[in-house]
Structure 1
Amino acid sequence: MAFIQQLPKGSGIPVHRHLDRDEAFYVLEGSGTVTLNDVRHSCEKGGTIFIPRNTWHGFSSPDQELVLLWIMVPPGLDGFFRETRSRPGEPRKELTRSRSTQSVSNMGQNTSGLRHLPRTAKTLSPKLARG
């Protein structure tokens, strides 16, 4: 399963983990930070990030938009993203912790892995390689 993930300036993805899925990201545009197991690393255009299953991770884009090509194996979370996304031109949906938990639970996924991204996050990954 592959997606384009756009993180507007000042936004992010809370720290979480997937117990049964690996993820890979390629930074298409911008720069930001990625947290892997509580270690923050910078990421920028042309970089790649691999996140093995059961690894705590999150993203932030404090200074500019961050655009990621995102690949998840095996597939299965597409329903969550269809339910929670904002289409181009629509106002951005507020994705609260309770809404995220409910959406993930609706798909039969484990919700014990959600944590809040530290407010002071600045990030890049040890698994980050320049492309």
Structure 2
Amino acid sequence: MTVADSSSGVLHVPPGEGLVKWMSGDILTFKATGAETGGSLAFLEVVVPPGGGPVAHLHPHSDEAFFLIDGALEFLDGDRTFVAEPGSFVYVPRNHRHRFKNLEKTDARMVFLFTPAGPEDLFLEGADDPIPGQRPGNWTPERFARLAPIVERTGDIMVPEL
């Protein structure tokens, strides 16, 4: 259940609240969407299971920033990689190829934002609704292929690693 109050102009989403979606094994909790911020930003809390994370991609119209809370994630920065640990902040400017991947044996947890909002529409429209009592599974290439129309509309570009 999502409880968000923006009647005064301030958006407040209490702990444990927000719209939840599953994408490729990751658990996404939307704390703010472009629809709720007038397009200014989107803000999500994400649990990335071992082996989880997106394919390399770039956002032509939005910057992205990450703050790692728990675990460790390997980030791709163009052609190089580095590991972000708890307390790490990562800023990715628009049009920059990136991805993150959990190479550990435990879940990683982070928050991230897009500014301006927009790329989160891929998750809102293309991700799966959670099934109570279960954890999300990894997606097949066929499942990813169903995102193609949304990816094209949002303008994001997938740039897989070779």
TM-score normalised to the size of structure 1? 0.77
**Alignment match, 1:43:** 84
Moved over 6 A (4+): none
| Whole-angstrom CA distance in 2 between matches of 1:95 and 1:68 | 24
| Whole-angstrom CA distance in 1 between matches of 2:133 and 2:70 | 20
Contact in 1 for aligned 2:59/2:119 (Cα 8 Å): no
Shift of 1:99: 2.1
**Alignment match, 1:100:** 147
Unaligned runs of 5+ in 2: 1-41
**Alignment match, 2:61:** 20
Gap change, CA 1:95 and 1:80, over 3 Å in 2: farther
SS of 1:53's partner is coil
| Whole-angstrom CA distance in 2 between matches of 1:45 and 1:54 | 26
Structure ID, larger Rg? 2
SS of 2:118's partner is coil
* Structure number with higher relative contact order (C-alpha < 8 Å, ≥ 6 residues apart): 1
**Alignment match, 2:116:** 74
| Whole-angstrom CA distance in 1 between matches of 2:45 and 2:128 | 12
Q: Aligned residue pairs: how many?
A: 115
Structure 1 or 2: more strand by fraction: 1
Identity of aligned residues (%): 23
Q: Deviation per CA, 1:30-73: give whole Å up to 9, x if none.
A: 10200010110011111000000000000110113221100100
The residue type equivalent to 1:16 in the other structure is H
The residue type equivalent to 2:150 in the other structure is S
